[in-house]
Structure 1
Amino acid sequence: MSNKLRLGVLGGGGDSLIGVLHRVASAMFDQYQIVGGVFNPDFEQNKGFAEEIGLPTNRIYSDFDTMVAEELKLPEEERMQVVSILTPNFLHFPMAKKLIESGFNVICEKPMTTTYEEAKVLEASLEKSGTVFALTHTYTGYPMVRQMREMIKEGVLGKIHKVDAQYYQGWINPIIHDEESRKSTWRLDPEKAGISCCVGDIGVHAFNLIEFTTGLEVDTILADFNYLYSDNKMDIDASVLVRMSENVKGIVRSSQVATGEENNISLAIYGDKAGLKWEQENPNYLYVLTDDKPLQVLKPGHAYNSDLSLDGTKLPPGHPEGIFDSMGNIYKGVAKAIRGLEYNSGEFPTMRDGVRGMSFIEKTVESNANGNVWVKIEG
């Protein structure tokens, strides 16, 4: 029998971008084998999709509860070891909770839950189970983001005093300006997406990148949202001031109505010795800025990079790697954890990141609703 980890998948069927991303990532390092799941709520479409991607249909289930029940009947050496949750936001919590309590390891799309309280419940369940949980803040998998983290840890920047994270998209522009379209999109429906659209979907990525790279935690925030229309209940643009300590401050900027923008993520961290800048649309370049030397550009795959960066680099220098590779690095780290192997804490985001992220999302909503006031992050 194959020694690959047996992977189940929930959601991600049809033409889902996130489904393709996870399937490719799971195959990248030959650590996983997809054995079944529930790709689509319609059973016939579910089976049809499984056949389309070459999976046998004997472990393609009609619904989530049936999958868990049937998998638990199998001998431990045959049942799914880890399950990826790629469904709409409102299903993340109930699925992850049941999987954890049933002894499965979990890889979950973000946001982890729809409320901070759910996140705390999930955290308590994980502590009891002792299983592995990973949250796919995908951009932490990029080699040069990991290099950024390690350089900051080594003190290259000195004392940090300024952080600036941006995530700009324009995809919702054609939807938000049409009354019927904005009422029928699940990401603008609080019942399915949670209390936030823009911050919950992309702003939380920028927030996570700040904490991932600096090793510091955001303490208080002040948020200003834009909804554009009075009948729209969800934020589609947000500017969030952040304070990490008395002397470390910055901003998280996110927008889904930044006309013409595709996936413009940028991160800049400044200290008293140097600064570091990275952009997701040009992910192979990490810029090092100082006052007394020319601009320095670091690239992946070279021996001058950290072990964590090099572990996430598959190709020789000069061969571009991208979003699939970044997600693949997260899956690789999770495989190490499940197998009980030694791994770097930066190899995949954890439950802790999910709890922090949900607190950030809720507190931005609270800050904006109360007149753009400073509020403290919990968790």
Structure 2
Amino acid sequence: MMAKIKLGILGGGEDSLIGILHRVAANMFDQFEIVGGIFDQHHDKSLKFGEKLKLDEKRIYKNLDELIAKENSLPEDQKMQVVSVLTPNFLHFPMAKQLLENGFNVICEKPLTTTYEEAKILNEIQQKKNTIFGVTYTYTGYPMIRQMKTMIANGEIGKVQKVDVQYYQGWINQLIHDKEKRSSTWRLDPEKSGISCCIGDIGTHAFNMAEYVTGMKVENILADLNYLYEDNPMDIDGTVLIRFTDKAKGVIRASQIATGEENSFSVQIYGDKGGLKWQQENPNYLYLMKEDQPLQVLKPGHGFLSEFSLEGTKLPPGHPEGIFDSMGNIYYGVAMAIKDQSKYDGAYPKLNDGLRGMSFIEKTVSSHKQGNVWINMKE
């Protein structure tokens, strides 16, 4: 039996939702063993949380310099092989950069960095070091999204001609209408979040998904963003028209002021022979629509689905799977890449996906600020 991959974690401490998601995902396929990390900026809190996870306190480090130095002093079969970066956005780049430079594989939350230039630097280092780098665009791990990707690649809906991806939330309403609150949250602070809130946070999921399931690249965009208040420097709503390299067109709609919405992420892809529709809040249903046939509803776990979809399915048909499973599939994809056993294109989002996400953020903001004009993604 092969030894488990030794995993370190930066961030994701006691009160972190994303931390729970990553820890469950890492344990899901018995591929990883969490051995230590830095769970909080306050070392005493980090130690306390490490104790809760029953980790060796010697591997709960005060800072990243200490982590790298001490882990690299361990025998190869004991040291951390990969480190997950779950910190606020502004820390992604310096932490990931330092880890890559010291030979660690990395799993990083999105957005990858706060600027496209930073993302390019990480890409260059990763290529030189030939390490594995996963970016957690979580929803790509859903079995029925992977089924959608396979069906489109196999031509089951024909040539793609219309893409409509929507990601609506309403949570920022609680902050944006209160001057003090919108001025104090890190999500609306460019120093900590980068130049975009809504597009940077959830719009990049939609952009990544559009490219992931279609297999096409967005070539041109035109954006119209909403900031609501003059003193708010960050977008909290936006619509982006997109044009792909092979002439298909589409729209990305993202909002954090869609009152009453929780996590409404929907993906609709239309070809000249049929259409596919999926919604994150009901992730077990993939709808196949054709003009000359009744509506078909595909669900995970059945033998007639693609091998890629089935590999990411852990329960029999009729047993709902969710976001933990989706993230777990991404961690499994990274594990297989580290072990050089990866079988599928798209098994986990790579650094280049994060790089394109950062380019999308900057091009979107630039399109809006230039007066809602078309911008080429290559410029």
**TM-score over 0.5 for the pair:** yes
Match of 2:52 in 1: 52
Measured after TM superposition, the shift of residue 68 of structure 1 is 1.1
Measured after TM superposition, the shift of residue 343 of structure 1 is 2.0
Give the residue type in structure 1 aligned to 2:335.
Answer: A
Measured after TM superposition, the shift of residue 246 of structure 1 is 6.3
Measured after TM superposition, the shift of residue 28 of structure 1 is 0.3
Asked whether the equivalents of residues 224 and 240 of structure 2 are also in contact (C-alpha less than 8 Å), the reply is yes
Match of 2:98 in 1: 98
Give the residue type in structure 2 aligned to 1:229.
Answer: Y
Asked whether the equivalents of residues 356 and 378 of structure 1 are also in contact (C-alpha less than 8 Å), the reply is no
Deviating 4+ runs (over 2 angstroms): none
Match of 1:207 in 2: 207
**Deviation by residue 1:354-376 (Cα, 9 ceiling, x = unmatched):** 11111000000000000000001
Measured after TM superposition, the shift of residue 53 of structure 1 is 2.3
Match of 2:153 in 1: 153
1:125 has 2:125 as partner? yes
Match of 2:327 in 1: 327
Match of 2:71 in 1: 71
Match of 2:314 in 1: 314
**Deviation by residue 1:109-160 (Cα, 9 ceiling, x = unmatched):** 0000111111111110011001100000000000000000000000011111
Q: Counterparts in 2 of 1:336-355, with a 5 A limit?
A: 336-355=336-355
Match of 1:357 in 2: 357
Q: Counterparts in 2 of 1:261-300, with a 5 A limit?
A: 261-300=261-300
Match of 1:9 in 2: 9
Give the residue type in structure 2 aligned to 1:71.
Answer: E
1:110 has 2:110 as partner? yes
RMSD between aligned alpha carbons? 1.1
Which is worse superposed, 183-192 or 55-64?
55-64
Asked whether the equivalents of residues 134 and 334 of structure 1 are also in contact (C-alpha less than 8 Å), the reply is yes
How far apart are the structure 1 equivalents of 2:55 and 2:167?
A: 36
Q: Secondary structure of 2:62's partner?
A: coil
Q: Secondary structure of 2:218's partner?
A: coil
1:233 has 2:244 as partner? no
Query: Structure 1: 5+ residue runs without aligned partners?
Result: none
Identity %: 63
Measured after TM superposition, the shift of residue 74 of structure 1 is 1.3
How far apart are the structure 1 equivalents of 2:247 and 2:5?
A: 46
Measured after TM superposition, the shift of residue 2 of structure 1 is 7.8
Give the residue type in structure 2 aligned to 1:241.
Answer: L
Measured after TM superposition, the shift of residue 73 of structure 1 is 1.4
How far apart are the structure 1 equivalents of 2:378 and 2:7?
A: 33
The alignment's TM-score, normalised by the length of structure 2, stands at 0.98
The alignment's TM-score, normalised by the length of structure 1, stands at 0.98
Asked whether the equivalents of residues 300 and 310 of structure 1 are also in contact (C-alpha less than 8 Å), the reply is yes
How far apart are the structure 2 equivalents of 1:78 and 1:161?
A: 51
Asked whether the equivalents of residues 190 and 234 of structure 1 are also in contact (C-alpha less than 8 Å), the reply is yes
1:255 has 2:249 as partner? no
Give the residue type in structure 2 aligned to 1:58.
Answer: K
Equivalent pairs counted in the alignment come to 379
Asked whether the equivalents of residues 82 and 105 of structure 1 are also in contact (C-alpha less than 8 Å), the reply is yes
1:173 has 2:180 as partner? no
Query: Structure 2: 5+ residue runs without aligned partners?
Result: none
Q: Secondary structure of 1:219's partner?
A: strand
